[in-house]
């Protein structure tokens, strides 16, 4: 879909609020110029301080974006020996004709004011990852998007293409360093998983009370491909609203897991929509919400079957940790064909007093017992590889402690 053809529509969409989440006044935020620094070492103290909050160390990052400044490290070069391309989307669009074909193909720039702003004013910062056919990338591709100053809008347009039979683990940490308290992050993600390829995408968010976050993600999985998404957010935030969509062709599979630990007065409107387009495709969505303080969480999940012999399951579980918090769990299953088997379960509760007492009788203080129970509650048996599991587990240990104060 050529950009120019829709420019008028996109400009109109600047006035179009998203269907969910609080509306954000874009004019309040400062726009910075995109600067591509190229290959180098991470020296930005803001990034070095933000990355550990999402379990990343600066020396492991392949791609770094601080506000609109883009840098890739020698690790990105190291990945090139496998034929893997890690660069900025801006450079990819300039260098690779194929990249130009992929950009803004899955996410419609006229979807809402955030996509429109990213399309019109974003300079195509964000990462571009390409994995050649049959290549199973042995190292995770760690990326970090940080907002390092106040009142700026950060646009990140991430494009991943895993070619036929390829496999890759992409880990993205989005965070701010201490001292940053307001801003807007708009992330556009377009992921292509070709035939029999596999993409495992892990995203960890650690923002702050004054940050608004609007990721817009679409994933397209071809025949026999697999997409696994594991999302964790644990910090306070002004608001976050996202509803990624995954389209599955014949025999393709998707597993999306979200762990949301909300706090303060944040609004967390987080969903996952899986569209079973092809025969034999299957999707599973699991979420765990732990809400405290005055936070409000809307956990949305939708599976839509357009073909027979498809399967889908949604599991949304919530735990209220304080009397003023709110969780709204909204699972939707829609079938348009006979032979699709869809199911969902949703439950919201509080930590069982009996379980706390049991652990206390084993020598845990009340706070320790709560942390053990919250940590256990957040466990999702998602099909992620061991190194990523280790990373996620370490983050969830922090999240559990955070959640019980």
Partner 1 sequence: MKNLSVCVEGKRIVSDVSLSVDPGELHIIMGPNGSGKSTLLSAVMGLGYVNICGGKVLFNGVDVTGLPSYERARLGVALAHQHPPEIKGVKLRDVALAMVKKHGCSDCLLLAKALRVEEFMNRDLFVGFSGGEKKRTELFLLMLQNPKLAMLDEPDSGVDIETIELLARSIEMLRARGTAVILVTHLGVVAEKLSRIDKVHLLLDGRLAYSGSPDEVLPVVMKFGYRKGLEVLVKKNAQGS
121 binds partner 1 (CB under 8 A): no
Shortest distance, position 389 Cβ to partner 1, whole Å:
13
Name the residue nearer to partner 1 (CB basis): 128 or 377: 377
The reply on whether position 214 binds partner 1 by CB under 8 A is: no
Compare residues 81 and 362 and give the one whose CB is closer to partner 1.
Answer: 362
- For 150-210, the DSSP string reads TTEEEEEEEEEEE-TT-EEEEEEEEE--TT--EEEEEEEEEEEE-TT-EEEEEEEEE--TE
Decide if residue 234 touches partner 1 (CB under 8 A).
no
CB of 363 to partner 1, least distance (A): 4
Q: Is 311 in the site for partner 1 (CB under 8 A)?
A: no
Of 157, 156, 158, 165, nearest in space to 193 by CA: 165
Nearest to 187 by CA among 118, 252, 121: 118
Is 373 an interacting residue with respect to partner 1 (CB under 8 A)? yes
Q: Is residue 376 within 8 Å of 263, Cβ to Cβ?
A: no
> Do β-strands 210-221 and 35-39 pair in parallel, antiparallel, or remain unpaired?
unpaired
Number of other CB atoms surrounding residue 146 within 10 Å: 27
197: contact with partner 1 by CB under 8 A: no
Residues 6+ apart with CB under 8 A from 388: 140, 169, 171, 200, 202, 230
- Contacting partner 1 (CB under 8 A), which of 113, 214, 311, 375? 375
Q: CA-CA distance, 181 to 300, in Å (whole number)?
A: 27
Residue 402 CB neighbour total at 10 angstroms = 18
When asked if residue 63 is in the footprint of partner 1 (CB under 8 A), the reply is no
Smallest gap from Cβ 373 to partner 1, in A, equals: 6
- Site for partner 1 contains 91 (CB under 8 A): no
Among 33, 81, 361, 386, binds partner 1 (CB under 8 A): 361
Decide: 34 and 70 in contact? Cβ < 8 Å: yes
The Cα–Cα gap between 232 and 373 comes to: 18
Is residue 377 at the binding interface for partner 1, with CB under 8 A as the rule? yes
Size of the site for partner 1 (CB under 8 A): 23
Q: From the CB of 199, what's the least distance to partner 1, in Å?
A: 27
Please tell me whether residue 386 binds partner 1 under the rule CB under 8 A: no
Does 94 bind partner 1 (CB under 8 A)? Our answer is: no
Judged by CB under 8 A, which stretch of 54-62, 329-337, 338-346, 368-376 contacts partner 1?
Answer: 368-376
Determine if 376 is a binding residue for partner 1 (CB under 8 A).
Answer: yes
Asked if 294 is part of the footprint of partner 1 (rule: CB under 8 A), the reply reads no
Q: Is 372 in the site for partner 1 (CB under 8 A)?
A: yes
Least distance to partner 1, CB of residue 103, Å: 40
The answer to whether 357 contacts partner 1 (rule: CB under 8 A) is yes
- CA nearest 206: which of 234, 178, 242, 239? 234
CB 170 within 8 A of CB 202: yes
Q: Which stretch binds partner 1 (CB under 8 A): 1-9, 132-140, 329-337, 364-372?
A: 364-372
Binding window for partner 1 (CB under 8 A); candidates: 89-97, 109-117, 324-332, 369-377: 369-377
b/e code 305-323 from CB counts within 10 Å (16+ = b)? bbbebbbbbbbbbbbbbee
Using a 10 angstrom Cβ sphere, with 0-12 exposed, 13-18 middle and 19 or more buried, the burial of residue 334 is: middle
- Contacts to partner 1 by CB under 8 A: 352-355, 357-366, 368-369, 372-373, 375-379
């Amino acid at each position: 879909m050529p950009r120019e053809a829709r420019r008028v529509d996109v400009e109109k969409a600047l006035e179009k609020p998203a269907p969910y989440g609080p509306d954000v006044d874009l004019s309040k935020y400062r726009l910075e110029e995109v600067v591509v620094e190229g290959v180098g070492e991470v020296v930005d103290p803001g990034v070095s301080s933000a990355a550990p909050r999402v379990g990343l160390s600066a020396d492991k990052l392949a791609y770094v974006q601080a506000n609109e400044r883009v840098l890739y490290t020698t690790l990105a070069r190291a990945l090139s020996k496998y034929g893997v391309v890690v660069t900025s989307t801006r450079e990819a669009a300039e260098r690779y004709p194929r990249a130009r074909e992929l950009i803004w193909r899955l996410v419609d720039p006229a979807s809402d004011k955030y996509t429109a702003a990213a399309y019109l004013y974003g300079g195509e910062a964000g990462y571009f990852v390409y994995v050649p056919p049959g290549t199973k990338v042995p190292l995770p591709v760690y990326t970090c998007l940080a907002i390092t100053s106040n009142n700026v809008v950060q646009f990140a347009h991430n494009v991943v293409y895993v070619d036929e039979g390829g496999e890759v683990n992409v880990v993205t940490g989005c965070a701010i360093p201490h001292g940053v308290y307001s801003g807007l992050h708009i992330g556009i993600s377009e992921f292509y998983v070709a035939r029999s390829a596999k993409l495992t995408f892990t995203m960890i968010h650690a923002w702050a009370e004054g940050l608004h976050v609007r990721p817009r993600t679409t994933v397209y999985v071809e025949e026999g491909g697999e997409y696994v998404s594991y999302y964790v957010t644990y910090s306070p935030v002004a608001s976050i609203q996202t509803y990624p969509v995954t389209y599955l062709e014949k025999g393709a599979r998707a597993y999306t897991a979200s762990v949301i630990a909300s706090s303060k007065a944040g609004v967390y409107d987080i969903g996952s929509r899986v569209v079973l387009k092809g025969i034999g495709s299957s999707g599973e969505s699991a979420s765990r919400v732990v809400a405290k303080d005055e936070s409000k969480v809307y956990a949305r999940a939708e599976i839509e079957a357009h073909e027979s012999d498809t399967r889908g399951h949604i599991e949304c579980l919530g735990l209220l940790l304080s009397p003023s918090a709110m969780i709204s769990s909204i699972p939707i299953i829609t079938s348009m064909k006979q032979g699709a088997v869809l199911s969902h379960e949703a439950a919201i509760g509080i930590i069982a007093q009996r379980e706390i007492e049991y652990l206390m009788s084993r020598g845990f203080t009340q706070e320790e017992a709560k942390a053990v129970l919250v940590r256990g509650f957040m466990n999702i048996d998602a099909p992620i590889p061991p190194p990523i599991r280790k990373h996620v587990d370490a983050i969830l240990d922090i999240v559990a402690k955070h959640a019980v104060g």
